[in-house]
Amino acid sequence: MLKNVVPLTRPMATRLDGRQLAAQLEQRLQALVAERLAQAGRPPGLAVLRVGDDPASGVYVANKEKACSRVGITNLGAHLSATTPAREVLATIERLNADPAVDGILLQLPLPGGLDEAPLLAAIDPQKDADGLHTLNLGRLLKGEPGPRSCTPAGVMALLAAAGVELAGKRAVVIGRSILVGQPMALMLQAANATVTVAHSRTQNLAELTRAADVLVVAAGKPQMIGAEHVKPGAVVVDVGIHRKPEGGLCGDVIFEQVEPIASAITPVPGGVGPMTVTMLLVNTVMAWSQRTGAELDFDALFAGLAFG
C-alpha cells in the first residue's frame, strides 16, 4: 500500500492578470482626475502622434485613445500621412510642445520608411514625454531621479509589486537589451535591489543563465523561445513579447503551457504586460498634468496597496 504519497505535480503558477491590475489603476486615475479637475481648470491631455497607416499601430493607437477617454484624459492626437516630410512631423511635435492643453506626447512607432525616429523623439519636451523614453528621462531613471518612466518596464514593476514579489536580494534575468524594454527594465529591477543580469542575442548558454533566475523577464521578441528547460522551479516569469501566430491569435516569447506548471507566477499573453503598458502611459500623462497644474502627485500612493483580487 502507498503511504505518504507526494504529489508529482506542482500547483499551477499564479497568473499575473494585467487586465485586472490595469482596471484597478484606471479607476484610481479616473477618481484622481475627477477630484482635481476643478482646481486644475482643465482635463489632462495626451497627444498620440501617428504617421502613416501601419495597421498594428492603428490598433495600438485606438486602444490608447479608448483608455484615455475611460479616465477623463482628452485625446489631442494627430494622424499625419505616410508621405509627411520630417520637417512637418517636427513642426507638429513643436506645436504640441507649445500647446498648454497637452501634458503628454507619444510618437507612435514604427515610423514609415525614410523618417528617422531619433531626432523626432529627441524633439519631444521631456516634461511631456508620456513614453518615458527621452534621453533626459532615461538618464533620470539611471540616476534614480523622479521623472516619467518607460511604460512597459514600469508596468512590469507594478505587476510584480501587486503580486507581492519580493525583489531585494533576488536574482533577476532580463532577456533583451533594447532601450524600449530591456535596458530600463534592468535599471528598475536593480533599483529595487535585485541582482540583475541582462542577456541578449550574443549571450552564450542562455538556459544556464535563466535557470538561475528567481525573476525572469523575457523581452527578446522571439516567439516561444523560452521553454521549461529555461526556468527554475518556482521562478516568477514575465513575458513581454507579443506576436501574431500564423494560425491566428497571439503568443509571447514564452511557451506558456510548458512554463506555467513550473513557475510560481507568470504573465499571460495577451492580458499580461500589454494592458499595463497602456495604463502607464495614462499614469505618466496624469502625473505631468498634476505637476503642470500645480499639484505634485504622489506616485507611490497611486500604486499603494494594489493587489490581485
In the complex, the residues that contact ligand NAD under the rule CB under 6 A are 152, 175-178, 180-182, 199-201, 203, 206, 219-222, 225, 240-242, 273-274, 277
The minimum distance between CB 144 and ligand NAD, in angstroms, equals 23
Q: Which is nearer to ligand NAD, 92 or 279 (CB)?
A: 279
The minimum distance between CB 244 and ligand NAD, in angstroms, equals 10
Q: Which residues pair with 107 in a beta bridge?
A: 49
Q: Which of 17, 103, 129, 131 is catalytic?
A: 131
Q: Which is nearer to ligand NAD, 71 or 238 (CB)?
A: 238
Q: Which is nearer to ligand NAD, 26 or 32 (CB)?
A: 26
CA distance 98 to 153: 29
Q: Which of 24, 108, 183, 224 is catalytic?
A: 108
Tell me, yes or no, if 222 is annotated catalytic: no
The β-bridge relationship of strands 243-244 and 215-218 is unpaired
Q: Which is nearer to ligand NAD, 32 or 240 (CB)?
A: 240
CB 172 within 8 A of CB 217: yes
The minimum distance between CB 252 and ligand NAD, in angstroms, equals 8
DSSP SS3 for 239 = strand
Tell me, yes or no, if 128 is annotated catalytic: no
**Which among 204, 194, 126, 196 has a CA at the least distance from the CA of 166?**
194
Cis peptide before 270 (omega within 30 of 0): yes
Q: Which residues pair with 265 in a beta bridge?
A: 14, 236
Class of residue 244 by CB neighbours under 10 A (exposed 0-12, middle 13-18, buried 19+): exposed
The minimum distance between CB 101 and ligand NAD, in angstroms, equals 27
The minimum distance between CB 98 and ligand NAD, in angstroms, equals 29
Tell me, yes or no, if 239 is annotated catalytic: no
Q: Which of 64, 128, 170, 232 is catalytic?
A: 64
CA distances from 27 to 17, 34, 38, 68, 161 (A): 16, 11, 19, 12, 18
> What are the backbone angles phi and psi of residue 195, rounded to the nearest 5°?
-95, 115
Q: Which is nearer to ligand NAD, 199 or 259 (CB)?
A: 199
> What would the grid cell of residue 29 be?
486615475
Q: Which residues are catalytic?
A: 64, 108, 131
